[in-house]
């Protein structure tokens, strides 16, 4: 930014701590090692009856109890925050990202006639998360379909760069419930077994569940408090192609726009992107649309692309934050994760995706893309 002839540096938004619980288990190590193993956490679902649905496979977290006092997402969040030694500053601004939150409370009321369905609203969950983490203030909710937590990360970074805050806590969560599963089944969007992102025989997504958090600070506050810098959110972009209530635009224009906005915000060219963490759901149209967008932006460069959804399934509102944390780990380890369940890449994706891990080159910048119902698209640049 420039004022007259004086050039002022941008305020950098840096990630100082994070954590997750996924179908691979508790913690980042469990998820990272699970993805690198190439073994999927998607398995036969026994949480509810699935005979009338398109599939009976999903990726769920072990040990959760269905239709109990605590919702599935609160069980994950309590395990996540009680199991971490991370100190959350009370003055952190809270952003909660989710699609359906505690929707299992509404299910329990409708199916079993027990409980209070008013407690399934997202405002109630926000208050619980605020109490659980100890932050002060009202906080905000971002519910932007499956781009929710990526949009929340973008919002957090924007708040820091604009100096509206110097510390933001992003919390994301979603769970596999009968309500959610039946919805995706009615759309004929589920793979019968496990999702195969970018595979020539891909045939749908697999649902997953997860909870995650990231504490994001201004670089100056992180230095003052001697916090470890895990990575920087250097750029972000959002768009909406307004194509269809659930289907992505076939031309990829919305994703292209989001990527270009993110590159501009980061102040870099496309040649500086080392690899891409794609949304990669495993549906025919999503993966084709993303590859069309990548080819339009990066042309013949064939930047390495991967998706983690063949491993942990599509974790809906939590997916962007989970993918950001794994991408930061990939930068640290200088390893591009494999695309789990990829057998033979679709023609459009050949040379871009791989079932094997690959080394990270010296550019050390990663692009993360996400897309959600209603046509919303997000892109993040990390370094």
Average confidence (pLDDT) per 10 residues, the chain, 383 residues? 51 97 97 97 96 96 94 97 87 97 90 74 94 92 94 98 96 97 93 96 97 98 96 95 66 90 96 96 93 94 96 97 98 96 96 96 89 87 97
Beta bridge partners of 304: none
CATH superfamily of 235-382: Thiolase/Chalcone synthase (3.40.47.10)
pTM (2 decimals)?
A: 0.95
Q: What is the pLDDT of residue 212?
A: 98
Please say whether the structural domain 13-224 has been given the CATH code 3.40.47.10: yes
Q: What is the pLDDT of residue 4?
A: 44
Residue 190 φ/ψ, nearest 5 degrees: -95, 140
Q: What is the pLDDT of residue 251?
A: 76
Please tell me if the domain spanning 13-224 has the same topology as the one spanning 235-382: yes
Domain segments of the chain as ranges: 13-224, 235-382
Q: What is the pLDDT of residue 244?
A: 62
In sequence order, what are the residues at sequence separation of 6 or more whose Cβ sits closer than 8 angstroms to the Cβ of residue 296? 252, 256
**Residue 119 burial class via C-beta count within 10 angstroms: exposed 0-12, middle 13-18, buried 19 and up:** middle
Q: What is the pLDDT of residue 6?
A: 46
Residue positions annotated with a catalytic role: 146, 279, 314
Residue 179 φ/ψ, nearest 5 degrees: -60, -50
Pairing of strands 25-26, 43-44: unpaired
């Amino acid at each position: 930014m420039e004022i007259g002839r004086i050039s002022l540096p941008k305020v950098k938004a840096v990630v100082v701590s994070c954590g997750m619980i996924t179908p691979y288990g508790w913690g980042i190590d469990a998820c990272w090692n699970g993805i690198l193993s190439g073994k999927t956490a998607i398995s036969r679902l026994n949480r509810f009856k699935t005979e009338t649905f398109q599939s009976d496979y999903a990726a769920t977290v072990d040990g959760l109890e269905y239709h109990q006092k605590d919702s599935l997402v609160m069980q994950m969040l309590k395990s996540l925050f009680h199991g971490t030694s991370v100190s959350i500053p009370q003055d952190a601004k809270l952003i909660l990202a989710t699609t359906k939150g505690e929707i299992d409370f509404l299910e329990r009321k409708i199916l079993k006639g027990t409980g209070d369905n008013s407690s399934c609203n997202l405002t109630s969950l926000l208050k619980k998360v605020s109490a659980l983490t100890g932050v002060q203030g009202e906080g905000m909710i971002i519910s932007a379909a499956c781009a929710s937590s990526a949009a929340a990360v973008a919002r957090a970074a924007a708040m820091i760069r604009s100096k509206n805050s110097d510390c933001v806590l992003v919390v994301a969560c979603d769970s596999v419930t009968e309500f959610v599963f039946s919805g995706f089944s009615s759309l004929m969007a589920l793979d019968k077994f496990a999702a195969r992102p970018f595979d020539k025989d891909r045939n749908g997504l697999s649902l997953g569940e997860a909870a995650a958090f990231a504490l994001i600070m201004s670089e100056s506050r992180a230095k003052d408090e001697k916090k470890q810098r895990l990575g920087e959110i250097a750029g972000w972009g959002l768009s909406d192609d307004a194509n269809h209530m659930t289907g992505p635009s076939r031309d990829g224009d919305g994703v292209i726009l989001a990527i270009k906005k993110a590159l501009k915000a980061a102040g870099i060219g496309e040649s500086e992107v080392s690899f891409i963490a794609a949304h990669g759901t495993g549906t025919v149209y999503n993966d084709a649309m993303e590859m069309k967008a990548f080819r339009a932006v990066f042309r013949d460069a064939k930047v390495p692309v991967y998706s983690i959804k063949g491993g942990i399934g599509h974790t809906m509102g939590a997916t962007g934050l989970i993918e950001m944390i794994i991408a930061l780990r990939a930068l640290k380890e200088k390893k591009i994760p494999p695309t789990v369940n990829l057998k033979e890449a679709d023609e459009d994706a050949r040379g871009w995706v791989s079932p094997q891990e690959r080394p990270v080159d010296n550019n050390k910048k990663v692009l993360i893309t996400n897309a959600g119902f209603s046509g919303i698209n997000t892109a993040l640049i990390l370094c």
